[in-house]
């Protein structure tokens, strides 16, 4: 298990560095869109558990439309699309519902899937569209994966006290602390390596903030899996589980970094975005 993880990392990390730094933005947008479609497939799969439901392709299509709008549209387009999708998806559920006692829950899951997977993970596209976006995307990946990896290995080596015994029995308090430490370290590494425009306070704040949010994102996704009675969201990547298992932390950290940058820009701090 541990060794297989290392092999996957050896393949993916350099590949990823190349993808983020040297490929044109639209290829990055396509990759994120692919991830969103796959992530929604897993999300609805966990809820509908093998039932063949028309909601699944409709929700995935809505996620694709959201990714496209995030890639090429402006703020007004996002708001109009988001508003339209909430109405349209609830209406779709009204038309498709087989069992009215489940209509409200099914419609809500249909809407929430699009917001959770496409809306939150789609912030990677928004980050890439900012000035110097390739560095921002690389920064959020670096800090998030450092946190995940730090939590995994320090939990394995030092873990004693369970963090969330019911939903995620393998997580420990020691792992959480180790993950947070590595997130902060990665944030300072990112600042000194390729993101000099952020201040020391930003690097510390982002290391702590993204470190905590990444772990909370991981716990939130584990609730979905626990509800579905599965260990992994799918069997996509050997020893890493499904796509959602790999990006559950990013789903929380990418939006957090984007909105942090937007607001510090608002208040005239000298970061170039």
Per CB under 8 A, the list member of 6, 101, 200, 270 interacting with its own copies is 101
Does 226 participate in binding its own copies (rule CB under 8 A)? yes
Does 72 participate in binding its own copies (rule CB under 8 A)? no
* Candidate ranges 1-9, 134-142, 238-246, 260-268; the one touching its own copies (CB under 8 A): 260-268
Q: What is the DSSP string of 166-209?
A: TTEEEEEHHHHHHHHHHHHHHHHHHHHHT-TTS-HHHHHHHHHH
- CB of 191 or CB of 221, closer to its own copies: 221
Does 30 participate in binding its own copies (rule CB under 8 A)? no
Joined together, the tokens standing for residue 245 give 């298992």
Task: State in angstroms the smallest separation of the CB of 122 from its own copies.
Answer: 10
- CB of 30 or CB of 105, closer to its own copies: 105
Task: State in angstroms the smallest separation of the CB of 271 from its own copies.
Answer: 16
- CB of 8 or CB of 173, closer to its own copies: 173
* Candidate ranges 59-67, 102-110, 180-188, 197-205; the one touching its own copies (CB under 8 A): 102-110
**Positions 105 through 164 that interact with its own copies (CB under 8 A):** 105, 107-109, 111-113, 115-116, 119-120, 123
Q: Give the integer Cα–Cα distance in Å for 163 and 232.
A: 19
Does 49 participate in binding its own copies (rule CB under 8 A)? no
List Cβ<8 Å contacts ≥24 apart for 155-159. Answer: 155/179, 156/2
> Could you tell me the CA-to-CA distances from 58 to 28, 51, 239, 255 in Å, in that order?
24, 14, 30, 24
Does 177 participate in binding its own copies (rule CB under 8 A)? no
Joined together, the tokens standing for residue 111 give 């809407």
Q: What is the DSSP string of 17-37?
A: HHHHHHS-HHHHHHHHHHHHH
The label of the residue with tokens 């430490």 reads: 181
Per CB under 8 A, the list member of 15, 104, 157, 158 interacting with its own copies is 104
The number of residues in the chain equals: 273
Per CB under 8 A, the list member of 166, 200, 270, 272 interacting with its own copies is 166
- CB of 189 or CB of 215, closer to its own copies: 215
Q: Bridge-partner residues for 237, per DSSP? A: 241
Best CA proximity match to 199, nearest among 188, 209, 213: 188
Q: At what angle do helices 100-113 and 75-96 cross, to 10 degrees?
A: 160
Q: Which residues bind its own copies (CB under 8 A)?
A: 46-47, 75-76, 78-80, 82-84, 86-87, 90-91, 93-94, 97, 100-105, 107-109, 111-113, 115-116, 119-120, 123, 166-167, 213, 216-217, 219-220, 223-224, 226-229, 252, 255, 259, 262-263, 266
């Amino acid at each position: 298990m541990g060794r297989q993880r290392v092999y996957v990392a050896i393949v993916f990390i350099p590949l990823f560095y190349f993808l983020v730094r040297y490929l044109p933005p639209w290829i990055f947008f396509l990759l994120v869109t692919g991830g969103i479609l796959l992530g929604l497939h897993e999300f609805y799969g966990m809820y509908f558990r093998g039932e063949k439901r028309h909601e699944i392709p409709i929700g995935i299509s809505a996620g694709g439309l959201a990714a496209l709008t995030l890639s090429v549209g402006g703020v007004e387009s996002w708001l109009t699309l988001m508003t339209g999708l909430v109405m349209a998806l609830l209406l779709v559920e009204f038309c498709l519902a087989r069992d009215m006692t489940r209509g409200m829950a099914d419609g809500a899951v249909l809407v929430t899937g699009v917001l959770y997977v496409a809306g939150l993970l789609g912030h990677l596209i928004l980050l890439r569209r900012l000035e110097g976006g390739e560095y921002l995307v690389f920064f959020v990946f670096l800090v998030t994966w450092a946190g995940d990896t730090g939590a995994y290995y320090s939990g394995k080596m030092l873990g004693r006290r369970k963090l969330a015994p019911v939903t995620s029995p393998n997580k420990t308090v020691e792992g959480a602390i180790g993950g947070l430490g590595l997130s902060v370290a990665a944030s300072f590494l990112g600042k000194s390596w390729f993101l000099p425009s952020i201040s020391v306070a930003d690097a510390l704040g982002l290391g702590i903030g993204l470190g905590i949010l990444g772990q909370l994102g991981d716990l939130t996704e584990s609730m979905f899996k626990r509800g579905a009675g599965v260990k992994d969201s799918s069997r996509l990547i050997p020893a890493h589980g499904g796509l959602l298992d790999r990006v559950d932390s990013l789903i929380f950290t990418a939006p957090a970094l984007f909105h942090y940058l937007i607001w510090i820009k608002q208040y005239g701090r000298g970061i170039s975005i």
